[in-house]
């Protein structure tokens, strides 16, 4: 949960960075994100001696094809987000990330067989109503917002199931993107259009920081999405667009209408309802686990035998020893 909160807080505030480099064309910013992210994660992989894990992920056809798909999805998402921020359309990006949790819930139900309890469905309905309210107020189909929502939802679902951890997966993704990024930067340099290494020391310092700006929240997110239900990840995601809305209004001077205030209020109400349900389910699971352990015979040395449950490893489910009723999933 803390991994997820940290990732979405970071993404909620990352527009500050892209505003600072708004004078640079979006394609060049994207190329720097790809290249410098590989430098960062490659350094981490080397420091931990994990290049063998990267080679194993590339050598496994299913893992490699899944990571190739996530690479295309995240590159599309990155470019559109950069474009919305640098062109003053941050509210469009926020709408996309408000829609994204609904897509996460749908994908979790369709592909991962996740079930929602009644209060969770009520929160989904509230959030859907808020998104519909926002969409109608725009009086046009928010194409960019929808593409942002769908690409990141599929990215999260695939990263949840791929047999590669956060660092290895991101290394493969950025490794696939880096050759294209480097070729594009060389082209810009040869044509005299490269902003990097120019007269602006501020730009020269900020563009390499794109690696940190990009890689850190993705690593946090990948850690979170492998440990949480996809629907839970979806509702944590409301942190990010809510902060983006606040930044757009307070820092960047975009208008925050009464329509938008109503929609954000509905969405935060939905988030509160979903969180309350999750806390209640967690308490119920703790009680069930405790009663199961108490009723179980003591193992040698006086330690109670663990209550039944399951452990999820790389998308697979491994049953653990059972000595009581299985704890419900929260």
In a domain, 291, yes or no: no
In a domain, 295, yes or no: no
In a domain, 201, yes or no: yes
Place of tokens 């990330």: 97
Least-confidence region, from 156-170, 185-199, 274-288:
274-288
Average pLDDT, the chain: 81
Q: What percent of the chain has pLDDT over 70?
A: 86
154 SS3 class: helix
pTM of the entire predicted model:
0.74
In a domain, 21, yes or no: yes
In this prediction, residue 292 carries a pLDDT of: 58
Please report the DSSP string for 156-218 in residue order: HHHHHHSSS-HHHHHHHHHHHHHHHHHHHHHHHHHTT---TTSS-HHHHHHTTTHHHHHHHHH
174/158 Cα distance (integer angstroms)? 16
Domain assignment of residue 262, given as a range: 2-283
Q: 310: which strand partners? A: 319
Encoding tokens for residue 67? 């990571």
In this prediction, residue 321 carries a pLDDT of: 33
- Number of structural domains in the chain: 1
In a domain, 180, yes or no: yes
328 vs 260, residue with greater confidence: 260
- Of 73, 69, 87, give the one whose Cα is nearest residue 15: 87
Convert the pLDDT of each residue in 54-84 to its tens digit. 999 999 999 999 999 999 999 999 999 999 8
In this prediction, residue 297 carries a pLDDT of: 45
pLDDT at 194 > cutoff 80? yes
In a domain, 104, yes or no: yes
In a domain, 300, yes or no: no
In a domain, 238, yes or no: yes
Convert the pLDDT of each residue in 102-145 to its tens digit. 787 778 878 878 787 888 788 888 878 887 887 788 776 778 88
């Amino acid at each position: 949960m803390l991994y997820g909160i940290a990732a979405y807080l970071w993404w909620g505030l990352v527009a500050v960075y892209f505003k600072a480099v708004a004078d640079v064309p979006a394609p060049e910013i994207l190329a720097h994100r790809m290249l410098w992210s590989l430098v960062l994660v490659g350094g981490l992989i080397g420091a931990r001696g994990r290049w063998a894990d990267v080679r194993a992920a590339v050598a496994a056809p299913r893992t490699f094809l899944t990571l190739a798909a996530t690479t295309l999805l995240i590159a599309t998402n990155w470019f559109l987000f950069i474009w919305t921020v640098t062109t003053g359309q941050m509210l469009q990006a926020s709408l996309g990330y408000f829609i994204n949790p609904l897509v996460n819930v749908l994908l979790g139900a369709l592909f991962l067989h996740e079930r929602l309890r009644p209060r969770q469905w009520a929160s989904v309905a509230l959030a859907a109503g808020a998104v519909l309210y926002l969409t109608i107020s725009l009086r046009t189909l928010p194409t960019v917002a929808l593409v942002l929502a769908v690409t990141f939802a599929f990215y999260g679902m695939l990263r949840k199931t791929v047999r590669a951890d956060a660092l290895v997966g991101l290394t493969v993704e950025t490794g696939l993107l880096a050759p294209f990024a480097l070729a594009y930067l060389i082209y810009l340099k040869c044509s005299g259009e490269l902003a990097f290494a120019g007269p602006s020391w501020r730009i020269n310092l900020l563009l390499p920081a794109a690696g940190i700006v990009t890689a850190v929240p993705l690593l946090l997110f990948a850690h979170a999405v492998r440990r949480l239900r996809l629907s839970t990840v979806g509702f944590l995601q409301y942190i990010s667009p809510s902060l983006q809305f606040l930044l757009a209004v307070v820092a960047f001077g975009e208008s925050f209408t009464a329509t938008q205030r109503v929609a954000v209020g509905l969405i935060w109400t939905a988030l509160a309802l979903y969180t309350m349900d999750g806390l209640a389910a967690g308490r119920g699971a703790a009680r069930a686990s405790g009663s199961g352990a108490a009723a179980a015979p003591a193992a040698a040395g006086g330690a109670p035998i663990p209550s039944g449950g399951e452990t999820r490893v790389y998308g697979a489910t491994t049953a653990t020893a059972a000595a009581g009723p299985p704890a419900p999933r929260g």
